[in-house]
Amino acid sequence: MGFNRRKMEDERRRVAEKEMTTRRATDAQVLEDAERLIAAWNERQAKRMPMLFSPTIGAAITARYWFLWVRCPACRSTSSIDLRRLDRHPDAAVSSLIPAPSCRSCRPNAPFAELVRLSPTSIADEMREEHRRRLLGE
């Protein structure tokens, strides 16, 4: 291998390593921002404050908050949507999903679903966990 070629490969490797480091730093920052944004949004939703912003589907997935919990204002039943299974653009806000999850038991006149929170777990997961805790007497 000639000197120039080696020099070029060294240079290419150096650039690739630098890009990797930058990408890792960006990923960490994106994750941190997404987590902070979702925590703030969840808090506002819990207090039923007016929605001023909404995390994107991509932000929720990045932060591993894979489930959007929704509640039917008519019958008060809650369900969860797995964001990973949706065919939506990741830059779409989770609030753009509002018209979609209409309550099965209230159809055909189901009101718009209320967004409860973003969660790392589904409702089924949470019920299983609660059942387990009750069995163990925790």
- Taking alpha carbons only, the member of 29, 27, 87 closest to residue 57 is 87
Dihedral of CA atoms 54, 56, 57, 59 in degrees, nearest 10, equals -110
Question: Token pair of 127, please?
Answer: 């019920």
| Member of 37, 57, 59, 103 binding Zn ion (CB under 5 A) | 103
Instruction: Assess 106 for contact with Zn ion (CB under 5 A).
Output: yes
| Member of 28, 75, 100, 124 binding Zn ion (CB under 5 A) | 75
Instruction: Assess 113 for contact with Zn ion (CB under 5 A).
Output: no
Residue in this structure with the two tokens 């909404």, named with its chain if needed: 54
Instruction: Assess 74 for contact with Zn ion (CB under 5 A).
Output: yes
With CB under 5 A as the rule, give the number of residues binding Zn ion.
5
DSSP annotation of 102 reads -
* Residues within the interface to Zn ion (CB under 5 A): 72, 74-75, 103, 106
